[in-house]
Structure 1
Amino acid sequence: MVYRQLETRQWQDLDEAHYLHPFTDHKALRSSHSRVAVRGEGVYVWDTEGDRIIDGLSGLGCVTIGYGRKELVEAATAQMTDLSFCQSFFNTSHPAAIRLAEKLVQITPEGLNHVFFQCSGSEANETAVRAIRRYWKLKGQPDKRMIIAREKAYHGSTQVAASLSGLPDMHEAGGDLPLDFITHVGTPYAYRNKPEGMSDEDFGELAASWLEDKILELGPENVAAFYAEPAQSAGGSICPPMTYWPAIQKICRKYDVLLAVDEVVMGFGRTGKWFGSFYYGIQPDFMQLGKGLTSGYLPLSACLMSDRVADVLIEDGGEWAHGYTYSGHPSCCAVALANIEVLQSEGIVERAEAELVPHFEAKLAEFVDHPLVGNVRSVGLMAGIELVANKATGEAFPFEQRVGNQCSVEALKLGLAFRDNGDTMALMPPLVMTIAEMDEMFAIARQAIDATAKKLGIM
């Protein structure tokens, strides 16, 4: 292939000259240089230097069934051969989108019978917000416009999705954000937010009560929806107590607030169940899917809507002036169908729950006593290992020290993609990982944390 005709440094020079990366300090990149990936197989990725890296992140939480699955390549090839593109405007449809919509309705929580397709999670969340606003207008309640999301949430990078996200850096980068109809409440982050001596069960209910407080502050007649991930990934692997979501749903029903659940990361097996909503017992009005929908092989997302919402949009709304050129792209839909077939036929989600999750949890428990580790938390195959300056008090490192980034760099040297969300180190491995591969991943993670602790003088 052409990329093998260039040396690594040549690729890096071209990269720095022309390619703007997401969430990147490009000035710093010109000193550190990018790693140029060229091949993937199973849970491994190789770069131009021939180094093999365990993908402990599943790409960005998306490569659920691993790299190099020929079934998905063949599905894309066949669809491109038959129908390379089909727009979904002007009363036009095609079999791949129709079949995928039907399949998603079958495997997601009951009542989500309508599907809108986009390319990214950001766009899926944009779709949901526009549908929420339109729904209440059609219901004759245009003042019901406020959407409540959570601190440390991540919902994407459009103006709306960045506003939903509870990450101040994103608001600053996007200008005057969040938008005026979006506000935030505290998150069920027990390590930092739980009062001393309180049980996890009681904390789950306390964290849910923050939503009710905000609804009453704004006025229930003004609140359109509550927006949240089942568990929070980019915000620091925040896993709510099991009492949290039942309490949240009661509050939403009490005040007639729609519930939008962003499953872009948690969907397709990450929690050990097909969807985070099944794990936590959530019945949403909206569910956003992406990432694992195609296992990252092609860009596709979906916004599922309940009958309650869709019936109003369909019967009373006339034309809904919303959509994207690539909504329901045939090849992306065909790959998603093939991906779901692989997940189902090989029992990948069920095996992950029965075999991988217990081993994952046992290996994580070995980090609890590490002198650099303040907290370890997980749900399914998503974990956060939080690094702290003082284990006894939980004191965090100064932001400028970027300890998590130091640990990530150490891990990459050793052959592991180990993401730093601030100073919380995240692991989200592919669901097809073997026990031996998982042991290798954790061994490198331990070495990286040890190396970081030694540099800091903690070991």
Structure 2
Amino acid sequence: MTSLPNSTASRDIAYHLHPYTNARKHEAEGPLVIVKGKGVHVYDEQGQAYIEGMAGLWSTSLGFGEERLVEAATKQLRELPYYHTFNHKVSTPSVDLAEKLIEIAPVKMSKVAFANSGSEANDSVVKFVWYYNNALGRPEKKKIISRIKGYHGVTVASGSLTGLPANHADFDLPIANILHTSCPHHYRFGLEGENEEDFATRMAADLEKMILDEGPDTVAAFIAEPVMGAGGVIVPPATYWAKVQAVLTKYDVLLIADEVICGFGRTGQSFGSVTFDIKPDIMVLAKALSSSYLPISAVMIADKVYQAIADNSAKIGTFGHGYTYAGNPVSAAVALETLKIYEERNLFDHAGRVGAQLQAGLRKFAERPFVGEVRGVGLIGAIELVADKATKATFDPVGKVGAYLVTRAQAHGVILRNLGDSIAFSPPLIITEDQVTDMLARFAKALEETEDLMAQEAAASTD
């Protein structure tokens, strides 16, 4: 990369440590500097427009430049820019938001605890689950089961819940009492001749065996995304959630639905829990809660969880948990306005309609030579690239081909994300049918160029 001295790119290389980035590679290549956004598009320093096919990080649901959110933030900044929720104090927007979230929750919930990110919220959940079982006099019931390829954040606890090797390597994770059960990806892990329902039965059996092996009296909770996001956009196989929930009920294991990606329309309905008929005891929300205009997340808990926590706080004298910025009035005001816009514009229904077009468009690539599986629901999807369609063999090294493809897609003006050779799509909910068509056309050009490269490399290897 070449850049002028003191340019944004040069200063970024000099001073900024990036998440999810090869630091040495970044020193050589530098960043794409985004300076403006409007609707589903973002713009770089040279004025080049890109369709933001990932809504930032699965999250900018209303796109860029939504004036109502700017106005909501500005108004609240003038009235009360900050207040906390410690020691019996609160601001009006945080109360209003808690009330609204309880109102729209897909199952009956009792209370809302705010945080600033999905990672923080899931970290809080680990503490809540442990505190809850201590309150009930069950000090051994502390283990939390996540899933291989699940994603729940990057703090010490939430990073432990995450089931991806790169999130554990050399961070000394996972911590104790965090376990990982089988990944419910039928295409990748189904046995020969095993249909989705039989595969789901086996996944539930794997979970039950883990609970029994560990001892039901030691297993406190199971956490999962309705659709797995960063693990590759993995849609659960038919009957999976019904069978898993039956196991959890049998052994008195709390169900935590991580709705950080799926919540607020991403699956074409209000929550992923609605799409897949999930009945959680705890729900975790973030990202689209404020369309990512300001940091905010929320944990919703069922009444049985709240009552135990409340009794224990009375016993101890306080509930010793919280964040300086939790329930920040500006973030809460923006989140409230975001929820109003979803309702007024019927954006969840819109996401379902346009999502059907996206899914149909993605599936047109299924016959391409290096496409192994196309999957998704609503406005979230992925195309998995493979070296051999018949055997499902992966590329070596995994991720290199997908990285090339998303680089070519960016050159054609669409930003996507490579997840180990699965190319993810998660555009803003406001995307139109014409924009979906445009996005897929740009992706098609990048896929053709990737196929050409693979053909050239195959020819060279036979010379």
Note whether the superposition's TM-score is higher than 0.5.
yes
- Any conservation in 2 of the 1:383–1:427 contact (CA below 8 Å)? yes
Q: Is the 8 A contact 2:204 2:243 kept in 1?
A: yes
Matched, 1:183 2:179: yes
Secondary structure of 2:298's counterpart equals: strand
Distance 1:401 1:345, change over 3 A: closer
CA contact (8 A) 1:8 1:49 kept: no
Structure 2 spans left out of the alignment, 5+ residues: 459-463
Matching residue of 2:57 = 60
Which residue is 2:327 aligned to? 328
Measure the CA separation in 1 of the matches of 2:46 and 2:344: 36
**1:118-129 pair list within 5 angstroms:** 118-129=115-126
**Cα offset for 1:400?**
5.8
TM-score by length of 2: 0.96
Match of 1:385 among 383, 388, 407: 383
- Report what 2:71 is aligned to: 74
Opposite residue 304 of structure 1, the aligned amino acid is M
**Corresponding position of 1:111:** 108
Who is 2:265 aligned against?
A: 269
Is 2:38–2:65's contact at 8 Å kept on the other side of the alignment? yes
Q: For the residues of structure 2 that align with 1:401 and 1:203, how far apart are their CA atoms? A: 26
Q: Distance in 2 between matches of 1:114 and 1:90?
A: 17
SS at match of 1:407: helix
Relative to the length of structure 1, the TM-score reads 0.96
SS at match of 2:381: strand
Supply the AA of the counterpart residue of 2:288. Answer: G
1:156 pairs, out of 144, 148, 153, with: 153
2:330 maps to a residue whose letter is S
CA distance in 1, matches of 2:89, 2:201: 47
The answer to whether the aligner puts 1:308 opposite 2:304 as a matched pair is: yes
Instruction: Decide whether the 8 Å contact of 1:147 with 1:224 is kept in 2.
Output: yes
User: Structure 1 residues 436, 8: CA separation in 2 closer, same or farther (over 3 Å shift)?
Assistant: farther
Aligned to 1:3: none
Residue 312 of structure 2 aligns with an amino acid whose one-letter code is D
Structure 1 residues 400 and 256, CA gap change in structure 2 (3 angstroms): closer
Question: Displacement, 1:341?
Answer: 0.3
The 1-side partners of 2:330 and 2:389 are apart by 50
Q: Secondary structure of the equivalent of 2:423?
A: strand
2:342 equivalent to 1:343: yes
1:446 and 2:463 aligned? no
Q: Check the 8 A contact 1:45/1:54 in 2, yes or no.
A: yes
Pairwise CA distance, 1:102: 0.3
Q: Distance in 2 between matches of 1:242 and 1:8?
A: 55
Q: 1:394 aligns with which of 364, 385, 392?
A: 392
Aligned residues: 452
Q: CA deviation at 1:19?
A: 1.1
Runs of at least 4 residues off by over 2 Å? 6-9, 315-318
Q: Which amino acid aligns with 1:163?
A: S
Percent identical: 40
Residue of structure 1 equivalent to 2:461: none
Aligned counterparts of 2:86 and 2:158: Cα–Cα separation in 1: 24
Equivalent-residue separation in structure 2 for 1:60 and 1:406 (angstroms): 19
1:51 lines up with 2:40 in the alignment:
no
The alignment partner of 1:126 has SS state of helix
What secondary structure does 1:322 align onto? coil
2:445 maps to a residue whose letter is Q
Q: Secondary structure at the match of 2:7?
A: helix
| Alignment deviations for residues 162-220 of structure 1 (CA, whole Å, 9 cap, x no partner) | 1000011111142x210111010111101111112122122222212211111011010
Shift of 1:110: 2.5
The Cα shift of 1:305 comes to 0.5
Q: Residue 297 of structure 1 aligns to a residue in which SS? A: coil
- Does the aligned pair in 2 maintain the 1:372–1:453 contact within 8 Å? yes
Structure 1, gaps ≥5 residues long: 1-5
**3-state DSSP class of the match of 2:244?**
helix
Query: 8 Å contact 1:149–1:182 — kept in the other structure?
Result: yes
1:242–1:280 contact (8 Å) kept in structure 2? no
CA offsets per residue over residues 306-330 of structure 1, 9 Å max, x none?
0010011112333111111001000
Q: Are the structure 2 counterparts of residues 451 and 398 from structure 1 closer, same or farther at C-alpha, using a change threshold of 3 Å? A: same
**Distance (Å, rounded) in 1 between the aligned partners of 2:201 and 2:106:** 23
Q: Secondary structure at the match of 1:64?
A: coil
2: CA distance between counterparts of 1:417 and 1:173? 30
> Counterparts of 1:362-381 in structure 2 under 5 Å?
362-381=360-379
Does the alignment pair 1:136 with 2:133? yes
The answer to whether the 8 Å contact 1:8/1:36 transfers is no
Deviates more, 1:244-253 or 1:312-321: 312-321
